[in-house]
Structure 1
Amino acid sequence: MIRRIKKLLGRYKNYEQILIMPYRSYATPHHLYVYGRLLDNEPLKIEQEQNFFKTVKNTYKQFDSFEIPEEKILLQLPNKQEFVTQTNKEGYFLFDKKLNEDLAEYADKDGWLDVKLFYKGQLFAKTKLIANPFKGELLVPDKKAEFGVISDIDDTILHTGVTSFLKWRLLKNSLFTNAYKRIPLKGAPELYQKLAVGLQESSKNPMFYISNSPWNLYEYLKLFLDHNHFPKGPILLRNIHGPFDTTLKPEKPHKQRQIINILNNYPHLNFILIGDSGEHDASIYTDIAAQFADRILCIYLRSVNHKKQMQRVKGIIDNFETTPVLMVHNSEEATQHARENGYII
C-alpha cells in the first residue's frame, strides 16, 4: 500500500525487484517483433491446487502492477547481435527490427527462437534482479507451412461468459477461477492440433492467439493454453488505457490491427480465421477477408447463445461471398469442414 501511495505521488523511485516480462511473439527470417513489459513485481505463481483465496490474491497481483518507465532494455540474439530500446511510461517496450541474417537458422525444430533480455537501468542497494538474462520466445514459421491459423481466445476456445448479463460470468471466470480449473470448449484442443499439423506432419502450421483481454492476464492465458495442450503460438493481447490516458487511440480495433500485421508479415501464407459470434469477430473478420480476398481460406465463428448477437452476425455473413464463413456450434463441425476442404487429414 505504501508503494502504491508513493507511486501516485510520483515519489516511488527505488525499485524492489526487476522483472522483464517478454510476451510470446513472432518473427520472419529477417524481421523480429518482441513486445514486453518491465515491472517492479515478483513473478506470478499460479498453482494447480491453490485455494480460492490464493486465486483471488493472484488476480489482484496481476492487476496491481508497478511498471518501470523510461528504462533501457537490451535484446541479444543467438548470434550475439544486440539491440537496445526504452520502456514507455507504462513500462511497455517493443523491438521491431529488420535483419540481414536468417533468424530461422537459430530456431529449434518447431520454429521457436530464444532471445535474451537484459535490464540496463540503475540497480539500487535493495533491488532484486529476478533473472539475468530473461528469456523471450519468437516463432519463425516454417517455410513448409501450408497455412496459418489466427484465433480468438474468449468464447472461441475458452468459455468466458462475455455475453452474460452485466458480464458477471466473464468477471467470475476470468478473475476468480484458477487457470488450471478453466475448461476449454469441447474438442477445441484436438481441432487446433489437427490444424497445426495440416495434411502432413512436416508442415508445422503456425498458430496465433489474439484476445481483447489486457496484458495483465498474459500469464493466466498462457498457462491455460499450455495446460490444455493447445499448439504453442504467439499470444497477442492489448493494453487497457486508463480513464485519464490522453494517448491517441488507434483508428482500427486491436484484433483487426494485429491480424493485418500478421498478414503483412507473411505475404506468402494463407490463413484460417477462428472467432465467435458474441463480440465483433464477424465484422472484423469479413472486413479483413474483403481486403485480403485471396489470403483467407475460411472463417469459423463459434455460435454463442445470444439471440440478438446471432441475428446481427447472420445479417453480416448471409450475403458475404468473398470467403466461406461457417457458423459452428461445436468443434466437430469445424473439423468436418476442414477435412472436406483439404486442410487437415
Structure 2
Amino acid sequence: MRLFKKDPLQVIVFQSYGTASHLYVRGRALEDESIDLEGKHPIKLLINAYKRFETDEVINATLLLKLPNGQIFETVTDDEGYFLLDVKVDGLDALANEEGWLSFEVAFKDFTNKRIIQLENRFPGEMLIPCIDQGSATKAVSFGVASDIDDTILHTGLVSTLKWRVIYNTFLKRASKRSPLEGAAEFYHLLHRGKTGEEANPIFYVSHSPWNMYRYLEFFLKKNNFPKGPILLREFGKFLNRKKTQEKPQKQHEILNILKTYPELKLILIGDSGEHDADIYLEIAELHPDRILAIYLRSVKHKKKMLRVKGLYENYKTTPVLLVDSSKQAMEHARENGFVSETLI
C-alpha cells in the first residue's frame, strides 16, 4: 500500500487561434490538483491559489491530437509540461462551426506507468479560425478585438497602494464572486456581432497573467457571459522576470502576432489607463496605422496615471482614441463609427 496516492493526470488545452491551413494549439499536461473554483472558505481559497502556482508538470509526455476528420498529430511536453503543436494542415476551416471554432481532442499516448488519467484520456480543445474570406460558409468577420483583462473587464486593483487589492482579489476571492466592469460583457457581444448583428468578429483576450491563471480566467469569462475567444497568457517564469528583460511585453508580441496571422484583419484595442496598455497600443498603432480601427482605454482612479496617458495621446490623431469611464461611452463611440449595430444598443 502506497503512503501517498498520486494525483490523476490531465491535459489543459488553451483556447487558441489559427487559419484554414495552420493548426496552432497550446496547452499543458499536469497532475490534477482538484482545484475548486467555487470554493468559499478563505483557507480553501489560499490552498487553491497555492495549487495554481505549485504545479506538478507531466514532462516529456507524448500527446496525440485528433481532428474531427480522423487526422492525428503528435507533440511532446517540455520540462514545464507545456506543449505546442504548430503544423500546416489544409482544409481546417471545413471542420469548423459557423462561428469559426474547430473542436478536437487531445490524449496521452502509450502512458504505461499505471497512472489514472482524467476524462477517460479524452481532453477537449478548440481553435478559432476567423472567417476573413467572405465566401466561406461561416459567419462573416469585419474586424477583431484584442482586449486586456485586468481592470479592463475584471476588477483587479492594479493601481491600489502596494497592490494589496490585487493580492486580495487573486488569492482570497473566488472566480464566481469576481466582478466584471459594468456593461463590459454586453459591449463585447455587440462588437462580436458587429454592424449587421450577425457577424462573428473574433475577441482575443490578452493578459500579462501567467498560464497558471488560465482556468480561473476562463471560468470568470464564461460565468459572466463574455463572448468566447482565445485567452492568451504567458509562462510563469516570464511573468516573474518581466522587469528584468528588455524585450517587448508579451501582450505586445501576442497582438502583433494576431496582425501577422491575419493580414486582412483590422483590430480594435481595449485596455485600461493603469499600467502599460496605453504605451503598448500606441506603439502598435504607429506600426500599423491602417490596421487599428480604434483604441478604448478605461479610466482608472489614479490622477497621476490618467494625466500621463492623456499627455501620451494629446497630439496623436492617426487612430481614434477614447478614454472612457463606462462601457456606455465606448458603445456610443462604436455605434457612431459603425462598429456595432444601432438596433442592438
2:118 corresponds in structure 1 to 130
1:71–1:121 CA contact under 8 A, matched in 2? no
Tell me, in whole angstroms, the C-alpha distance in 2 between the residues paired with 1:313 and 1:97. Answer: 41
Picking from 109, 118, 122, the partner of 2:98 is 109
Deviation sequence 1:63-114 (CA, Å, 0-9, x none): 12101222211211112222212111111111111212x2121112222111
Whether 1:199 and 2:190 are equivalent positions in the alignment is no
Give the C-alpha shift of residue 249 in structure 1: 5.9
Separation in structure 2 between the aligned mates of residue 314 and residue 325 of structure 1, nearest angstrom: 10
Give, in angstroms, the shift of residue 250 of structure 1: 7.8
Q: What is the distance in 1 between the residues matched to 2:239 and 2:290?
A: 40
Of the candidates 217, 224, 227, which is equivalent to residue 223 of structure 2?
Answer: 227
Q: Is the 8 A contact 1:34 1:138 kept in 2?
A: yes
- The amino acid that maps onto 2:334 is A
Q: Which amino acid is the alignment partner of residue 118 of structure 2?
A: I
Shift of 1:61: 1.6
Which residue does 1:70 correspond to in 2? 60
Q: State the partner residue of 1:33.
A: 24
On the 8 A contact 1:142/1:203 being kept in 2, the answer is no
Aligned equivalents of 1:244, 1:324: Cα separation in 2: 34
Give 3-state SS (helix, strand or coil) of 2:236's partner.
coil
Q: How far does the alpha carbon of each residue in 1:194-221 deviate from its partner, in whole angstroms, 9 at most, with x for none?
A: 1111111321111000111111111111
Q: Which structure 2 segments of 5+ residues have no match?
A: 133-139
Query: Are residue 280 (structure 1) and residue 276 (structure 2) matched?
Result: yes
| 1:9 corresponds to | none
Q: Who is 1:82 aligned against?
A: 72
- 1:54 is displaced (CA, Å) by 2.7
Which of 45, 48, 51 is the aligned partner of 2:41?
Answer: 51
Separation in 1, partners of 2:268, 2:239: 36
In the TM superposition, 1:1-345 aligns within 5 A as: 16-47=7-38, 50-100=40-90, 102-120=91-109, 122-125=111-114, 127-131=115-119, 132-143=121-132, 144-241=140-237, 251-345=247-341
**How many angstroms apart in 1 are the aligned matches of 2:156 and 2:49?**
16
Aligned equivalents of 2:99, 2:123: Cα separation in 1: 21
Code of the residue aligned with 1:166 in structure 2: it is L
Give the whole-Å Cα distance in 2 for the aligned partners of 1:166 and 1:193: 34
Q: Measure the CA separation in 1 of the matches of 2:88 and 2:239.
A: 35
Deviation at 1:306, TM superposition (A): 1.3
Q: Is contact 2:209–2:239 with CA below 8 Å preserved after alignment? A: no
Secondary structure of the residue aligned to 1:22 is: strand
Regions of 4+ moved over 6 Å: 242-245
Give 1:280's aligned amino acid: H
Match of 1:10 in 2: none
CA contact 1:29–1:104 (8 Å) conserved in 2: yes
User: How many pairs align?
Assistant: 329
Deviations 1:261-292 (A, max 9, x none): 11111111111000001110011101111111
- After TM superposition, the structure 1 stretch with the greater mean CA deviation from structure 2, 76-85 or 263-272, is 76-85
Q: How far apart in 1 are the matches of 2:96 and 2:30?
A: 28
1:38–1:254 CA distance, 2 compared to 1 (3 A): same
Determine if contact 2:33/2:51 at 8 Å carries over to the other structure.
Answer: no
1:244 to 1:269, Cα distance in 2 relative to 1, 3 A: closer
RMSD of aligned alpha carbons: 2.1
Q: CA deviation at 1:243?
A: 10
Residue 54 of structure 1: SS of its match in structure 2? helix
Letter in 1 for 2:28: R
List runs of 5+ in structure 1 lacking aligned partners. 4-13
The offset of 1:139, in angstroms, is: 1.1
CA-CA distance at 1:319 after TM superposition: 1.6
For 1:301 and 1:263, the matched residues in 2 are separated by 20
Q: Give the corresponding residue for 2:137.
A: none
TM-score for both structures, normalised by structure 1: 0.90
The 2-side partners of 1:216 and 1:244 are apart by 12
- Paired-residue identity, %: 49
